[in-house]
Each structure stands twice: as C-alpha cells, then as structure tokens.
C-alpha cells in the first residue's frame, strides 16, 4: 500500500560542525571591527578602513561593523566572517601582520600568511604588512555558495515495497526546518562583570546567568557552552542562538 506525503519546506543549513569542514565560500559577508585588540584607538593607522577596502577590492562583500548592514546580515550575524588582525609576531626590526577570519562562534576558518614590513614609520609599516598579508585572500577563488540550501523542495515518502529498486539508490536527506523564535526582548537588567577572557552576566541576586567570551570583534561575544553569540545592534544587545536549525533571538538589557 502506497502512502505518499508531499512536504514543501524552506531549508537553510548552517555548518557548525568543526574547522575541517569550513570553507570561506560558505560565508556571504566579511565584518571588520573598528578597532583591533592591539590598537590603541579606533581605526589606528587606518587598519580597519584599509582591511575593509582590500576585502571589497578582491571580490568579497565586506562591511565595517558600524556600517548600515544588509537586512539578512542584521538578522543573522553567522552569515559573516569576523576579521581579526594581530601583530603578535612583530619584532624589533619587522612589523608583522596576520589576518584571521572567524565564524560567529570564534572558530578560525582561514588565516593569512604573515605580512611583513621593515619600514620604520608605524603607519607605513602597518599598511605595507597588511597588504602583504592580503596576498592570501587576493589569490583565493572566492565564490559564495551556502553549505546546503534547499528552497521549496518536494520530498516524497512511501512505504517499503518489494526490492525492485536497489537500496544503494540516492536517499532523500532528512528534512531540517529552520525556525526563528523572536521574543519581544528581555526587560530584566543584567550586570556584566569582567572576568578572564570576557564577562559574566549576573542578575540582581546576584546569580550568574551566562559567560560572555571575547572575540576579535568589538561588541561581539560568544556564549560559553552554547552555540550562541551576544552582539550589539542599533544600540541594543542581542542574544542569538542556533540549535540544530532552531534559531532563538531576543534583545537583552545589559549594563557594562
């Protein structure tokens, strides 16, 4: 007896399964912070501006984090890779720059070669070293293609029948339906207390609610032990969690 069910679903699968399976082509945007951890001020030596300019020049869709962002990126920061520029390998005679691209859970997806400069003036040295490091991204054949995206897919199911067809034939993938649960916002006030590598959020008791871990981007934190981030958008703190395609997103009232 044949039983047939036709399901129309819109599926967007997000890959969070580990570094080895990540590719820069899985991400639609690049987000550049206004200030890197080693910088003393916003856009020092024009590093953020130049980084954003070069990514766009070489065919990526890059934005400074405080720009007016596309709607889909506003709703899902995990569409973007965050830029982290470091100078940890610099020495007395050389300025060295390394560029890392990280997903919204702080996993490294791609790291550049170490760009170098022997120039003595810091502004020119950082400019030259950054451009040198960008040779990595200049030579990448970047082409955005989501990991798995199926729209309006018809899936046919039927009862097992006689072995007329071999089981080795391609099977339909399990349906994964992404749902977004948007709460109206959390009016409760939480206090951010500085701890190693980030902040702990406590309520008025005080009870620890969650731990926020620093990322390379300003106003973007990972949530410890969860597939979640907390970030600032339009002067509001937003909690964003993805659990097997089930997205939870709401605003939070946080006092730093």
CA distance 197 to 199: 7
pLDDT given at position 233: 87
CA distance 245 to 59: 29
Q: Rounded to an integer, what is the distance from CA 231 to the centroid of its chain? A: 11
148-179: pLDDT as tens digits? 543 333 334 444 444 444 444 444 444 444 44
Per-residue pLDDT of the chain (256 residues), as tens digits, is 434 333 323 323 333 333 334 689 999 999 999 999 888 899 999 999 999 999 999 999 999 988 899 999 988 888 999 999 998 877 778 999 999 999 988 889 999 999 999 999 989 999 999 999 999 999 888 999 886 543 333 334 444 444 444 444 444 444 444 444 555 556 788 888 888 888 988 887 778 889 898 887 788 888 888 888 999 888 889 998 887 778 888 999 998 8
Mind listing the domains of the chain with CATH numbers? Answer: 19-138 (3.40.50), 179-255 (no CATH)
Cis peptide before 250 (omega within 30 of 0): no
- Annotate 147-187 with DSSP letters as a single string: SEEEEEEEEEE-----TTS-TTSPPPPPP---EEEE-S-EE
Percent of the chain residues past pLDDT 70, beyond the cut: 75
pLDDT given at position 175: 45
Q: Give SS3 for 53.
A: helix
CB 47 within 8 A of CB 36: yes
Ramachandran category for residue 46: left, alpha or beta (phi over 0 → left; psi -120 to 50 → alpha)? left
């Amino acid at each position: 007896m044949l039983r047939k069910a036709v399901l129309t679903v819109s599926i967007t699968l997000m890959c969070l399964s580990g570094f080895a399976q990540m590719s820069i082509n899985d991400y639609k945007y690049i987000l550049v912070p206004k200030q890197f951890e080693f910088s003393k001020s916003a856009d020092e030596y024009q590093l953020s501006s130049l980084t954003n300019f070069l990514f766009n020049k070489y065919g990526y869709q890059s934005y400074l984090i405080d720009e007016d962002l596309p709607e889909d990126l506003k709703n899902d920061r995990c569409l973007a890779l965050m830029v982290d520029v470091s100078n940890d390998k610099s020495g007395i005679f050389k300025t060295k720059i390394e560029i890392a691209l990280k997903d919204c859970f702080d996993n490294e997806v791609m790291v550049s070669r170490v760009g170098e400069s022997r120039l003595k003036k810091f502004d020119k040295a950082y400019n030259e070293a950054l451009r040198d490091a960008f040779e990595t991204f200049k030579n990448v054949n970047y082409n955005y293609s989501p990991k798995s995206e199926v729209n309006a897919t018809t899936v046919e199911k039927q009862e097992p029948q006689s072995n007329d067809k071999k089981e080795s034939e391609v099977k339909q993938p399990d349906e994964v339906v992404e749902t977004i649960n948007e709460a109206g916002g959390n009016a409760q006030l939480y206090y951010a207390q500085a701890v190693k590598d980030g902040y702990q959020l406590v309520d008025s008791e005080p009870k620890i609610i969650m731990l926020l871990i620093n990322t390379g981007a300003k106003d973007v934190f990972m949530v410890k032990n969860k597939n979640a981030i907390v970030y600032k958008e339009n002067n509001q703190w937003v909690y964003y969690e993805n659990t097997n395609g089930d997205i939870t997103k709401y605003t939070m009232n946080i006092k730093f």
